[in-house]
Amino acid sequence: MEIRLKTLTPLWTGGVDGTMDRIHETGIIGSLRWWYEAIVRGLGGRACDPSEHECPDRDGNYCDVCQVFGAMGWRRRLRLEIEDHTQPIWKPADRMLNIRPPDRNRGWLLPPGWIGTLTLHLDGDDKTLSLLAALFLFLERWGSIGAKPQLGYGVFEIKNHDEVQDWATGDGDGPGWEWKILGNERPEGKHPDLRQFGFFRYRFQPARPGWWTRVPGIERVASQVQPLVSQYGIVPVMPALKNEWRFHRWQGSRRDEQEIFGALRPKRQRSKVIASWAYRTGQDWEVRGWAWLFSKRWADETWRVLTERDGWEKSLRVQGRLETRRITTGEQVKSLLEAAR
């Protein structure tokens, strides 16, 4: 199966020295596995923690995820080769873009991800390829690929959408893939489970071409952002959104705030809230993302913060349409996945 992708926000797959020299296959596969684990858990299936080497179980059975992506003693059922036509959005590779909103002492440091087109050549049995087609269709609509999603990286569109859809539905060469609810296990919160996720999308049509110059923090680096707008149609608005959500709208405890939005001290915690860069889609612009709402203690407050429309308008200084989807049941997970096809 062949999937042709166009990056909508920078793509990051890592490298040996903390920079990126090319698109690495392992970075793509790792993110596919992460999302598939969240989906399997959300449908009530079994997804082990590969870092704890839980597969196989005592009876020698591998979990639903390891059966596809492999484990110790079990070969991965897919092979990926990438035909890469991307390039870094700026050089040199170690140069960071520092977006610092006006009321912050420190900003968000953004490394130069890669942007362009790439063709994924996927080999495997037909059932696995149909699964991957369905997975990519879901990620195109709601998710991302690669690393650093917390910085807004990895959003893409599928250029050969009809072919991939045929693989997923069974109208083409593949047998098709059906998402099934596998059980009723309750989410534990320890690992990502789509029954604890909320998704959002903000689409707007700015009244003026230079709308992005009014976004808090962008004015400091306008000369660096201008080529990104003119060449690629992207604007790094994520820092402005997270700054508004975290420091102006959050009303919970400091401890919960660090768990949700990330922290370096006293211990490193990754953000549970993801927001993309703004990217141009025809005459419109769009920002999308998601939140992993695993704690009952702060899930409702976090979702309130993320879905207040005036917070978006204050951050981006534009009026738009906000679409939100909060998922709490396996049936909702299945509906979300099927709608993406």
**In terms of C-beta density within 10 A (0-12 exposed, 13-18 middle, 19 or more buried), how is residue 264 classed?**
exposed
The closest alpha carbon to 36, from 177, 158, 169, 204, belongs to: 177
pLDDT tens for 176-214 read 999 999 886 777 778 999 999 999 999 999 999 899 999
**CATH number of this structure's domain 2-169:** 3.30.70
Spell out, as residue ranges, where the chain has pLDDT lower than 70: 53, 72-73, 184
The C-alpha atoms of residue 273 and residue 311 are separated, in whole angstroms, by 15
pLDDT computed for residue 9 by the predictor: 98
pLDDT computed for residue 177 by the predictor: 95
The DSSP-derived string for 106-159 is S-EEE---EEEEEEEEEEE-HHHHHHHHHHHHHHHHH---SS-GGGT---EEET
Please tell me the class of the 194-339 domain.
Answer: alpha beta
The closest alpha carbon to 78, from 35, 125, 44, 133, belongs to: 125
pLDDT computed for residue 51 by the predictor: 75
pLDDT computed for residue 72 by the predictor: 66
| Entry pTM | 0.95
* 268-293 b/e (C-beta count within 10 Å ≥ 16 → b): eeebbbbbbbbbeeeeebbbbbbbbb
The C-alpha atoms of residue 47 and residue 34 are separated, in whole angstroms, by 10
Q: Do domains 2-169 and 194-339 have the same CATH topology?
A: yes
Total Cβ atoms within 10 A of residue 145: 26
Domain boundaries, the chain: 2-169, 194-339
